[in-house]
């Protein structure tokens, strides 16, 4: 599971940055719960939450695919695309909103979830 571990570690660093961004905004604006009246905090929390909602499941699928002897190139492609998609989505919510980048990040993530599930099923049978 070396390929999945590599991408899990890189994604963990991105997750840490997203978490730190939420904490920074909470401290700066003295908001301990909720978003107060701060849209920037709401966007940061959604970038963080969206990451948590999708990345673990895709990493699990990658790990299963890898343990079933799936193609290494497919795992690297999935991991690279997941990094790009999650960075793109977070960038658009936290730094500069560019609708097409956010939509692309979401679409790539959905596609990886579907493709990962199908690949695991194919490899299993």
pLDDT of residue 8: 98
- The pLDDT tens digits for 53-98 are 999 999 999 999 999 999 999 999 999 999 999 999 999 999 999 9
Q: What is the per-residue pLDDT for 35? A: 87
* Residue bearing tokens 């997203």: 18
What the block records as the tokens of 10 is 């890189």
pLDDT confidence of residue 75: 98
Biggest CA-to-CA distance, the chain: 54
Asked whether the beta carbons of 85 and 112 are under 8 A apart, the reply is yes
Cβ atoms 46, 93 nearer than 8 A: yes
Quickly state the pLDDT bin for 46 (edges 50, 70, 90): very high
pLDDT tens column, 47-65: 999 999 999 999 999 999 9
pTM assigned to the model: 0.92
Separation in Å, CA 84 to CA 68, 77, 81: 25, 11, 5
CA–chain centroid gap for 121, Å, is: 22
Reading the block at residue 69, the tokens are 């002897």
């Amino acid at each position: 599971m070396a390929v999945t571990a590599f991408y899990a570690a890189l994604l963990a660093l991105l997750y840490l940055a997203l978490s730190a961004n939420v904490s920074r905004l909470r401290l700066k604006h003295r908001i301990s719960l909720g978003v107060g009246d701060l849209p920037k905090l709401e966007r940061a929390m959604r970038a963080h939450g969206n990451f948590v909602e999708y990345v673990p499941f895709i990493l699990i699928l990658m790990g299963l695919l890898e343990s079933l002897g799936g193609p290494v190139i497919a795992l690297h492609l999935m991991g690279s695309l997941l990094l790009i998609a999650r960075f793109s989505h977070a960038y658009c919510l936290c730094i500069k909103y560019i609708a097409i980048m956010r939509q692309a990040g979401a679409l790539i993530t959905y596609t990886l979830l579907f493709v990962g599930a199908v690949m695991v099923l194919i490899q299993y049978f």
